[in-house]
Amino acid sequence: MRKQVPVEKGKSYEIEIRTLGTSGEGVGRYQDFTVFVPYALPGEKVLAVIDEVKKTYAKGHVKEILTKSADRVEPVCGIYDKCGGCQLQHLDYMAQLKAKRQQVIDAVTRIGKQPDLFVEPTIGAATPWNYRNKMQFPIGREKGKTIIGCFAQGSHEIIDTTDCHIQKEGNNDVVNAVREIVTKLNIPVYNEDKHTGVLRHVVGRVGKNGDIMVVIVTATKTMPREKEFVKMLRAKLPKVVSVHQNIQTYHNNVIMGRDTKLLWGRPTIQDGIGRLNFHISPRSFFQVNTAQAEVLYNKALEFANLTGQETVIDAYCGTGTITLFLAQKARSVIGIEIVKPAILDAQKNARDNNVRNAEFIVGDATQVMPRLYKQGVRADVVVVDPPRAGCTPTVLETFANMKPDRIVYVSCNPASLARDIALLDELGYKAEKVQPVDMFPCTSHVETVVLLGKNVTRSKSYVDLGLDVEDYYRIKDSEKNDR
């Protein structure tokens, strides 16, 4: 007999919030039944109205905060309660860092089955504001006006945005200029439901010295009043050096299509991490927080512990950012990436930075890694920075078959990271160090760098010591502070 659900849709209940969920929502329990409440914080008691009821959980919204957390702050953004771009502006920044560490702890403990694996405190950003060098906002119409902005959380309703506080100012300038120009030229805007119209998204990138790239994503192969658009954009934004049209004709949620046309200016813009410079094309992956990317890559380089004699494989290398960092200290590095334009950028980046010990291969790591292994290629160190879904078992097994001394795993998703380090543990590679890095302040996302080694001996777990996980980490933190 199934246990009766103790809450009803539309009714209000007092909920004590215990933790934050992976999307930044408050997680509490009512009569031992899980309730997710966005914008509620751990330690708070809230009166929540139930919006959705499932078999094992419910979702609600805050009607009233009965007991307020000391970590609650006033969001700086005027549309924060509507926009889905940020999830944690209402949480003090130091508390955000602690919450992100806890997210990693929960993942490696529960999903990764690594209860004795210590997670370092999250490395925070110098400032949590105006850090994003890339913006991609949908374009729509509302009451006859052109609107551009983030989607509301959990929907495709566009929230018109004029000043996004986590975007670099150049990207906010792009949004406001494009909105005005599209209105003046009366260019048709895409209707997602009907699959009609032209303009779907605007993508902005801010590079070195404030140079700007603008990419207009269209549902059609041609763009009406293209030359007038470019002329007006250049007049409004003197920092624009590159204007593209990307063509995305499919009726789906994929932002950018395969074909891109240069409308004016340079084919790429440049940005820099450390002493390295990178060419970035419209579809290339490049970390959106340049300052924190340097922190992340330096940590990956530290974990790789290179002496200049190693062969390194960098799977999912993108435009070669981590690859070129590693090449500074390695004998040779092989970068693998499925997106051909990114590899072309990586090759150009290597030439421009006078890096001669890096080779780049276009292809799916799932296929390329086994092929390299059959060809006799062996890596002393493997570095991997996969998409959110993580690595396939085939890739992980090939890593292990190559028998590298170390594996450095960079992840944007604690859940897939934890799953993969559990599998690597079975393959003989145990996680030694875990370092969260806050690449995305004011959001629920966290990057993590993990060092895995062969034949690592672990200390006793919290289970062996008769502790719960919170007490275990409290003791380990105290020990670290005493050193």
Of 256, 286, 282, nearest to 271 by C-alpha is: 286
First to last CA, the chain: 54
Residue 77 known to be catalytic: no
107 φ/ψ sector (left φ>0, alpha ψ -120 to 50, else beta):
alpha
- The helix/strand/coil state of 174 is helix
The CA distance from 352 to 331, in Å, is 19
Contact present, 212 and 239 (Cβ < 8 Å): yes
- The helix/strand/coil state of 177 is helix
**Can you tell me which residue has the tokens 């700007």?**
212
Q: Are strands 212-218 and 240-247 parallel, antiparallel or unpaired?
A: parallel
Catalytic choice (150, 317, 391, 412): 412
CA distances from 195 to 157, 161, 191, 250, 483 (A): 16, 23, 5, 9, 61
Q: DSSP labels for 83-150?
A: BSS-S-TTB-HHHHHHHHHHHHHHIIIIIS--TT--BPPPBPPS-SSS-BSEEEEEEEEETTEEEEEE
Contact present, 446 and 436 (Cβ < 8 Å): yes
Of 88, 33, 98, 100, nearest to 60 by C-alpha is: 33
Helix axes 414-426, 393-402, angle to 10 degrees: 50
By annotation, the residues acting in catalysis are: 412
